[in-house]
Amino acid sequence: MSISSLWVVAEPSNGSFTTTSLELLTQARALSASVSVITWGDGASLAAQAGEYGASTLFDVGSLEGALPGAPVASAIAGLVATKGAPAAILIPTSYDGRDIAGRLSARLNRTVLTNVTGLVDDGALTTEHPVFGGTQIVRARFSGEGPGLIVVRAKSFAAEPSGGPAPVVESAPVGELGTTGSAVIVNSHVEEREGPKLEEAPVVVSGGRGLGEASQYALIEEAAKLLNGAAGASRAIVDAGWVPYSHQVGQTGKTVKPTVYIACGISGATQHMVGMKGSKNIVAINKDADAPIFQIADLGIVGDVHQVLPALIAALRARN
Amino acid sequence: MNIVVCVKQIPDPAAPQSFDASNNLDRSGKLILDEADTYGVEMALQLVDKAGGGEVTVVSMGSASDVAGIRNALAMGAAKAVIVSDEALRGSDALATLAELLQLPSITFAKSVEIDGTTLKVERQTESGYDEVTAPLPCVVSVTAGVVEPRYASFKGIMAAKSKPLQTLSVSELGLDGQVGAAGAGQAIVEVVAAEARQSGEKFVDEGDGADKIVAFLESIKVL
């Protein structure tokens, strides 16, 4: 482990760090003997969890008082770099707030951000891996200037595993003067309720695309997902068309899923979609077009009409329940 | 209300893509306006309309030899365009850090944008739904794809776009010599390797037995 130290931005969410944060901590621990966590809000109460996943220090930014995290957290991290010295790299989850933090930190520290990272290895130097062209090729890159390198990592790139470490030392990470940069504030939060397991965590994901023909047909996807105790996903095409909310989107600009089985219905397999699901253990595809790219990665491909295959599948699943 | 929209031209994603000898994306083919950017242009045009005055300016970085995509934004209704174009920019990382450099507030992932006097009201996507976020103007906003219906350029718009101002600036004109391009990127590509290919399995034409085949498959992997 030749990497001196790594910092991980860990996002608090409903009494835990997000799964992606824990995945980053697990990988950081494998690469460096010195891992610190930066968190805010309820994060300070999660010190025990940070320790379990290998952090020896927790830097607490404190309450953001409703501000979007980007500006204040980037300010606090820049302050830490100035007072504690730079780590080799700062790992940041690919999330709405993570991307904001990375962008602002890049300007504050005048350091490069590497985004869309799915692999991190130490082969003499810290090397990042980025899937391109729909995941058919991997670009391997390294930072060339002074640290800290800023690395934004996609969800599900690593498995999250606790190491059973002791509680970390907690230190405060004060936010500097923000001026107007900190004036974007959250005045209200809305949760779009969905039944069943979360899309990112479900063992079965049934997803629909353009091949469904119209928005009302998405009910077939939801029904099949429910019968399989899974979650319903969607291609970007039907999210853009307004059929389903963005929170259902699987792909490059949506969620990354790695279920036991992914069932793609009426999805042709645009590269932007495949990036988000090709890590699934098993893939089943139903599509009218025998040449659809999705069949190239499907373990089981059914060339047929979703409007016939899906209702038949739903009937078969109902008969078993 | 004046709005600047940052856009980029990209190789058509529907065409095969490759890297050049120095591991930069090969951009020698036809370039188009990134579809995701059309949402920003549309949102800006709507806000200017609602405000009852002002104009939309598009700003881009890249080759100035093929500007069909930029003209498309002008044909949609933007008033003028500025392209920062210089061979020195090849290998440059996009400075997606605009708000911090400008010392402005920012709201990313906006799915709706309203302007109330000097306050911006945005619905911002979150992992579980959306937040209502406010910020004073001026503010940097990024718009999520799919939240407005980008207009098609009309014939009149396409004709008008041909004579709209399109200014090209070089790196020296911006006073950024030596800070941009691969030299200023702070990272280097080590190599590009083929990803482990996922093998395709069996493919059947549905003859009324498609659902049964799926059920049998789900049983074989113990999901059922």
Query: Do the Cβ atoms of B134 and A300 come within 8 Å?
Result: no
Percent of chain B with pLDDT over 90: 51
Homologous superfamily, domain A204-320: TPP-binding domain (3.40.50.1220)
* CATH code for position B41: 3.40.50.620
pLDDT in tens, A213-261: 999 999 999 999 999 999 999 999 999 888 998 889 999 888 999 999 9
pLDDT in tens, A146-156: 889 999 999 99
Instruction: Give the A:B interface size as CB pairs under 8 Å.
Output: 240
Of the candidates B75, B51, B94, which has an alpha carbon nearest to the alpha carbon of residue B166?
B75
Q: For residue A294, give the H/E element and its range.
A: none
> How many Å lie between the alpha carbon of B72 and the closest alpha carbon of chain A?
20
Homologous superfamily, domain A6-182: HUPs (3.40.50.620)
Name which of A101-110, B36-45, B84-93, B122-131 the model is least confident about: B84-93
Query: Do the Cβ atoms of A140 and B188 come within 8 Å?
Result: no
> How many Å lie between the alpha carbon of A26 and the closest alpha carbon of chain B?
22
How far is A276 from A235, CA to CA, in rounded Å? 10
How far is A220 from A212, CA to CA, in rounded Å? 9
Domain ranges of chain A: 6-182, 204-320
pLDDT in tens, B150-197: 999 999 999 999 999 999 988 788 877 766 665 567 888 888 888 887
* Residue A5, CB-side half-sphere exposure with 13 Å CA sphere: 14
Confidence band, pLDDT 50/70/90 cuts, at residue A280 = very high
How far is B157 from B29, CA to CA, in rounded Å? 25
Number of domains observed in the structure of chain B: 1
**pLDDT confidence of residue A100:** 92
How far is A242 from B24, CA to CA, in rounded Å? 35
**pLDDT confidence of residue A254:** 86
Collapsing DSSP states into helix, strand and coil, what is residue A12? strand
Could you give the ipTM of this predicted complex?
A: 0.85
Domain with B179 in it: 3-220
How far is A110 from B192, CA to CA, in rounded Å? 26
pTM here is: 0.88
How far is B115 from B1, CA to CA, in rounded Å? 10
Buried b (16+ CB within 10 A) or exposed e, A37-65: bbbbbebbebbebbbbbbbbbbbbbbebe
Q: Is the fold of A6-182 the same as that of A204-320?
A: yes
Of the candidates B164, B12, B168, B7, which has an alpha carbon nearest to the alpha carbon of residue B75?
B164
Secondary structure (DSSP) of A140-205: EEEE-SSSPEEEEE-TTSS------PPPPEEEE------GGGG--EEEEEEE----SS-TTT-SEE
